[in-house]
């Protein structure tokens, strides 16, 4: 089956620093990737849709200048949390869309802790 990886799996950083999270589709090309955020004991909330070679589409209420998304190739999308603050601490999960638009393959997630 299709495999999606995320790196790092866990990151702890100081407030004010920027953190980059990578999402890779390992055995297929993904023109579309999605970024989700999950706070403890809550559901997954879609943050943005990342399309290869074009600007990401952000969901309402998500600050595009704070959460920078780059989808430079068909196998890699990155999410950069700029000037991270403790309230950005969360579990970030990416997914990559497969051949059919209704298929999504999820990465293992990245747990971000901002001190």
Partner 1 sequence: AQKVTQAQTEISVVEKEDVTLDCVYETRDTTYYLFWYKQPPSGELVFLIRRNSFDEQNEISGRYSWNFQKSTSSFNFTITASQVVDSAVYFCACAGSSNTGKLIFGQGTTLQVKP
Position 54 contacts partner 1 (CB under 8 A): no
Q: Give helix then strand counts, H and E, for the chain.
A: 0, 11
Position 46 contacts partner 1 (CB under 8 A): yes
Here the tokens at position 11 are 């990151």
Q: Of 17, 57, 62, nearest to 37 (Cα)? A: 62
Position 28 contacts partner 1 (CB under 8 A): no
Q: At 4, is the secondary structure helix, strand, or coil?
A: strand
Q: Which stretch binds partner 1 (CB under 8 A): 22-30, 69-77, 80-88, 100-108?
A: 100-108
Residues at the site binding partner 1, with contacts judged by CB under 8 A: 32, 34, 42-46, 49, 91, 93, 95, 97, 101-106, 108-109, 111
């Amino acid at each position: 089956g299709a495999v999606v990886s995320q790196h790092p799996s866990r990151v702890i950083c100081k407030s004010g620093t920027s953190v980059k999270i990578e999402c890779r589709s390992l055995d297929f090309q993904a023109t579309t990737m999605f970024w989700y955020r999950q706070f403890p004991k809550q559901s997954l909330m879609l943050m943005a849709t990342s399309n290869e070679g074009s600007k990401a589409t952000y969901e309402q209420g998500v600050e595009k200048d704070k959460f920078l998304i780059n989808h430079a190739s068909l196998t890699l999308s990155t999410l950069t949390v700029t000037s991270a603050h403790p309230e950005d601490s969360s579990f970030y999960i990416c997914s990559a869309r497969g051949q059919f638009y209704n298929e999504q393959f999820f990465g293992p997630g990245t747990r971000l802790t901002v001190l």
